[in-house]
Structure 1
């Protein structure tokens, strides 16, 4: 990655310029059997569409706070990077009543209703499927995002010194996030081409770093596993081998 990268969105742009076809996020849900592999280009396309949704349809502005009520999931990674692209602070697991807008999975909809701003719901179904019927008071992400543009340009430059992420009582600017992600990547032994398997949740910095930011900062990729505890030791060994995993974080 480029030494000049100062936000997570910068890291993604550098990854796209270096090798758009390589895998970046491979997601497993071991409760449903779902597997999704996203190349750098595919993830970047989802991020651009989501950032356009944020800035255009949802009228989010730099400095706005978004309560992100999602588990470790490939679509959560998309929202984290879209927030960075638009200069919106991603408050992971944050209080919806104190947020400007909220993004919720299917299990946190009642909590999300406390937000008085825009509300977006994700069904978290395989292949990004929509709800059979959109929850009342929410936009269905799977319905709204496909029509968004494939390229994103923020209305104003994103300030690397502005708050980018809040999780577990920790608040980081974009520049601080990138610096921490690089340090974590070095500690984990990640380098370009590494494959990190993470079974950690997205409710802590450690989980977010292993499950997205550290691999992105290192030019590596992540095998993100939800409900990994439902996998037998033998099946886990087989996954590590088949996915060419070089580092694990569980």
Structure 2
């Protein structure tokens, strides 16, 4: 982090400038056996493409509310940073009927239809794969995002004071996200680039989001983000901790 970093998007920009090749998010789904590792550069590229989709094709503006009906997943982390880049407010498990846009996983498509604005569906398949058939009434993220630009420039400057996130009934500005993530880092044993936190916490609380994205990003560390971790077992967990060089665990 640099002294000038005031928003989550600033944190990503600084991480990219410092060491684009280091791991940032390593994702496991223990129900499917999927493993995906994203360097800072790869993660930032996904964020830029998603932010261009959000701002350009979906016409999102600063202050628009984006209901994220998604589990703890690497693509959810991408959407959180894309919303911050545009200046939209990411509402985790938000009410689709009250949102300007909705982004849904495959298990919440019926609920997402309540949104009168743009709707995006994520198949959450390995390697970011698309739906076999795009859901009616939704844009398929995996179809729409590859053609987006690799560089993102917001139409309007995003400031630290603007609302950026709603989770668990709490609203955070961009600046508050950065401040709280930095405050959380010591308790997560995140002290630098060799620090890796493994977390199986869901993304529907601040603690889950902090351990699973914001604190590693703010501290220069990385995260091993695990979905369905309860299926792994203690022996499997111990092996993962060793193989991924994990320095702390939250579950």
Q: Same fold (TM over 0.5)?
A: yes
- The secondary structure found in structure 2 opposite 1:222 is strand
Question: Once the 2 structures are TM-superposed, how far is the Cα of residue 192 of structure 1 from its aligned partner?
Answer: 1.1
Match for residue 48 of structure 1? 48
Map residues 1-250 of structure 1 onto 2, 5 A cutoff.
Answer: 1-193=1-193, 194-250=195-251
- CA–CA distance in 1 between the matches of 2:245 and 2:31? 22
Runs of 4 or more consecutive aligned structure 1 residues displaced over 2 Å after TM superposition:
none
- The secondary structure found in structure 2 opposite 1:191 is coil
Structure 1, gaps ≥5 residues long: none
Question: Once the 2 structures are TM-superposed, how far is the Cα of residue 191 of structure 1 from its aligned partner?
Answer: 1.1
Deviations 1:119-176 (A, max 9, x none): 0000000000000000000000000000000000000100210100000100000000
- The secondary structure found in structure 2 opposite 1:171 is strand
Whether the aligned pair in 1 keeps the contact of 2:69 and 2:105 (CA below 8 Å) is: yes
- The secondary structure found in structure 2 opposite 1:16 is helix
Deviations 1:51-96 (A, max 9, x none): 0000000000000000000000000000000000000000000000
Question: Once the 2 structures are TM-superposed, how far is the Cα of residue 41 of structure 1 from its aligned partner?
Answer: 0.1
Whether the aligned pair in 1 keeps the contact of 2:192 and 2:220 (CA below 8 Å) is: yes
Question: Once the 2 structures are TM-superposed, how far is the Cα of residue 233 of structure 1 from its aligned partner?
Answer: 0.6
Question: Once the 2 structures are TM-superposed, how far is the Cα of residue 208 of structure 1 from its aligned partner?
Answer: 0.3
Deviations 1:10-57 (A, max 9, x none): 000000000000000000000000000000000000000000000000
- CA–CA distance in 1 between the matches of 2:211 and 2:250? 7
Cα-Cα RMSD: 0.5
Question: Once the 2 structures are TM-superposed, how far is the Cα of residue 187 of structure 1 from its aligned partner?
Answer: 2.2
Q: How many residues align?
A: 250
- CA–CA distance in 2 between the matches of 1:246 and 1:7? 26
TM-score using structure 1 length: 0.99
